[in-house]
Amino acid sequence: MKKVRARLILLLTVIVVSCVLSIPSWPGFYAQLPDGLKTILPERGVSLGLDLQGGIHMVLEVEEDRAVEIVVDRSVRAIQDLLTEKAIPVQVVERDQSTQVRIEVSDEENVDQVEKLMNETFPSFILRSQEGKTLVYDFREADAARIKNSAINQALETIRNRIDQFGVAEPLIQRQGRKQIVIQLPGIKDPQRAKDLIKGTALLEFKMLDESSKVGLELPPQVERGKYAELRKEFEGRIPEGSEILFENVSGEPGSPSYSVPYLVRKGAVLTGDVLRDARVSIGDFNEPFVSITFDSKGAQEFDRITKANIGKRMAIVLDGTVYSAPVIQDRIRGGRAQITGAFTTNEANDLAIILRAGALPAPMKTLQDLTVGPSLGRDSIEKGLRSMLIAGALVLLFMVVYYQLSGVLANAALALNLLCLIGALSGLNATLTLPGIAGIILTIGMGVDTNVLIFERIREELRQGRPVRLAVDAGYDKAIITIVDSHVTTLITGLALFVFGTGPIKGFAVTLCLGIGINLFTALIGTKVVFDIVNRRKLQWLSI
C-alpha cells in the first residue's frame, strides 16, 4: 500500500508541475491571469521555430584570409610605432602581398638592430629574405591558421552578442563546417534591420584628414550620393600616397535629395575601435540622437595623446569606410570619451551602439544564403501539423477503446498525460517547437500506444491461463517491461545521436523524441500501473481488456 501511495503522489506531482509549466504556452489563458500569479510562473513557454512562425535563415562565410591581413596590418602599425620609439630611421614599413611585411631601413647599419627587435617583439614573423637595406618577413603559417579559426569563433560570438541585444527570442546561431555560420531568427518583424545588424562589420577607425595636400582643397563641397567612383577617378593620380577619399552621407532637407561630403583622409588609423569599452545612445540639445563612446584605459591614453598633438586639426570618425563626422580638435580631450554624430534616426543610433558594444567582426562576411520565410508558410505548417496530429490521435484513441475496452480508456488517459508532460517539459526548457518536432511528438504517440499494447497483450495471455486479475496484471507488467525498456533505450540512443550530430530541424525532432521516450516510460510503467493497483484493491474477478 505504501508503494502505491508513493507512486500516486509522484504521479499527481508530475501532473501538477506539467500543468504549471505549460500555462505560458497558451498565451490567451496566460494573459488573463493576475500579475501576482504570473510572477511565479515561467516567463515564456514553448516558442515556435522558424518553419512555424516565419523569420530569417542566413548562411554566412567568414573571409578568413582577410582576417589574417587585418592582423598583419595592425602589426605593421605596431612595427612603425616601435621603430619610431627606438629612433631607428626607416623609409618603408608596409604589408607586401597578403601576409608579408617589407621593411626598408634608411641605413644598412640598422638592419641587425631591426632583426633583433622583430625577433624579440614580433615572434609571429619569420625573416624570409634580406637584401641590402630591405627585409621581408613572412607571417608564420601556424599563427595564420590560429587566427583563421579564432576569426570564425569570434565572429560567432560577436553575432550572438548583437542578436541577444537586439532581443530575438530563441535564435539559432551555430558554426557549420570550417568557416560558415548558420543563423535562424524566428518571428523577426523587421528582417532588413536584423540583417544589417548582423552583417555590419563595425570597423571603427579614427583618421586624421590630410590637410597638407592641395587636393583636399580642390574637392567639391558635396557630391551626389553614390557618385563616389566618378570623383575618385577624376582625382586619380593626384591623390598623395598614403591618403584616400572617403565620404560622409548627409540627409538633405525634406523634399530635397541626399548628398555626400568628400574628405581627403590619411589611410593609417591613429586609433581603432578595439579599445572601446562602451557605447550608448544619448540625446543632444536639439533632440538629435548621437552615440557616446567610452575608451578603455589604453584607448583613453592614446586618445589623450592624439588630441593633444593635433589641436586645430580635423579628425574623421570612420565606420566601415564611411565618415560619420569630421570635427576640428579644439582642445586636448581627457577622460577617454568621444561622440559619433550624424543624421541618425533613433533606431540607427541604437543599432550602431549595439554593434560597437558587441565588438567589430574580425573579418568581412560573405552571404551564401539569405532567406526570409513568410508567416503564411508557418501558419500553413501549423495547421497541417495539428491536423495530422489530431487525425492520428483520434484513430489511435478509437482503436484502443474498441479493442481494449475500459483498459483502452486508461491507455488513452496515459497518452493524454504523456502529451501534457511533454508540453510541460518543452515549456520548462524554453524549447523551440519546429515542424520536425511535431513529427517527433506524433512518433511518441505511436510509441506510447505500442507500449500499452505490449502490456495489455501480456495481461491477456496471463488471464487466458486462468490467473487472477491482480496476478495477471503484475505478471503482464513484469514480462513486458524488458521488451519495453529495450525498445525505448535503443530509440533513445538514436535520438541522442541525432541531437549531438544533427543540426537545425534534426535537433528539433531529436529533442521531442528523447523527451517523449522518457515521459512515455513514466506514464506507462508508473501512471497506468498505479491505476491498476488501486483498482485491484477491490479484488476484481474480471477485467475489461
Round to whole Å and give the CA distance between 104 and 131.
Answer: 10
The pLDDT value recorded for residue 356 is 67
Domain ranges of the chain: 2-53+375-536, 64-142, 200-372
Radius of gyration of the chain (CA): 34
Cβ count near 100 (within 10 Å): 16
The pLDDT value recorded for residue 177 is 81
Round to whole Å and give the CA distance between 208 and 362.
Answer: 23
Q: If DSSP states are collapsed to H, E and C, what string results for 274-295?
A: HHEEEEEEEECCCCCEEEEEEE
Angle at which helix 64-85 crosses helix 111-121, to 10 degrees, equals 130
In DSSP notation, 79-122 reads HHHHHHHTT--EEEEEEETTTEEEEEESSGGGHHHHHHHHHHH-
64-142 CATH, one of 3.40.50.300, 3.30.1240.20, 3.50.50.60, 1.10.10.410: 3.30.1240.20
C-beta of residue 183 within 8 angstroms of C-beta of residue 56 = yes
At position 423, the amino acid (one-letter code) is: I
Dihedral sign from CA coordinates of 64, 66, 72, 78: negative
| Paired strand residues for 282 | 290
Task: Name the grid cell of 108.
Answer: 644598412
With cell 505500442, the residue in question is 450
Write the burial class of residue 460 (CB in 10 Å: 0-12 exposed, 13-18 middle, 19+ buried): middle
Q: If DSSP states are collapsed to H, E and C, what string results for 370-429?
A: EEEECHHHHHHHHHHHHHHHHHHHHHHHHHHHHHHHHHHHHHHHHHHHHHHHHHHHHHHC
Round to whole Å and give the CA distance between 182 and 11.
Answer: 41
Task: Name the grid cell of 74.
Answer: 595592425
* The CATH number of the domain covering residues in 2-53+375-536: 1.20.1640.10
Cβ count near 339 (within 10 Å): 14
- Give the DSSP letter of residue 258: -
> Helices marked H in 128-266 — which ranges?
141-166, 191-199, 214-218, 228-234
The pLDDT value recorded for residue 246 is 92
Cβ count near 300 (within 10 Å): 18
How far does the chain reach from its first CA to its final CA, in angstroms?
A: 24
The pLDDT value recorded for residue 11 is 84
Element of type H or E holding 10: helix 2-22
For the domain made up of 200-372, give the CATH fold.
Gyrase A; domain 2 (3.30.1360)
Nearest residue to 287 via CA among 327, 345, 338: 345
Round to whole Å and give the CA distance between 300 and 147.
Answer: 27
Show Cβ contacts of residue 482 under 8 Å, excluding neighbours closer than 6 positions.
none
At position 447, the amino acid (one-letter code) is: M
Residue count of the chain, please give it.
545
C-beta of residue 231 within 8 angstroms of C-beta of residue 213 = no
Contacts 24+ apart (CB under 8 A), 188-191: 188/54, 188/55, 188/56, 191/55, 191/56, 191/372
The pLDDT value recorded for residue 328 is 84
Task: Name the grid cell of 228.
Answer: 563616389
The pLDDT value recorded for residue 120 is 83
Across the chain, which has 545 residues, the per-10-residue mean pLDDT values are 75 85 77 72 71 79 83 82 81 81 84 85 86 86 85 79 67 81 79 75 80 87 83 87 86 68 88 76 79 81 86 85 82 79 72 67 78 65 73 82 84 86 83 79 84 86 82 84 86 88 77 88 82 70 71
| Paired strand residues for 135 | 103, 130
| Paired strand residues for 184 | 57, 172
Round to whole Å and give the CA distance between 427 and 441.
Answer: 14
Quick check: helix, strand or coil at residue 4?
helix
The pLDDT value recorded for residue 245 is 92
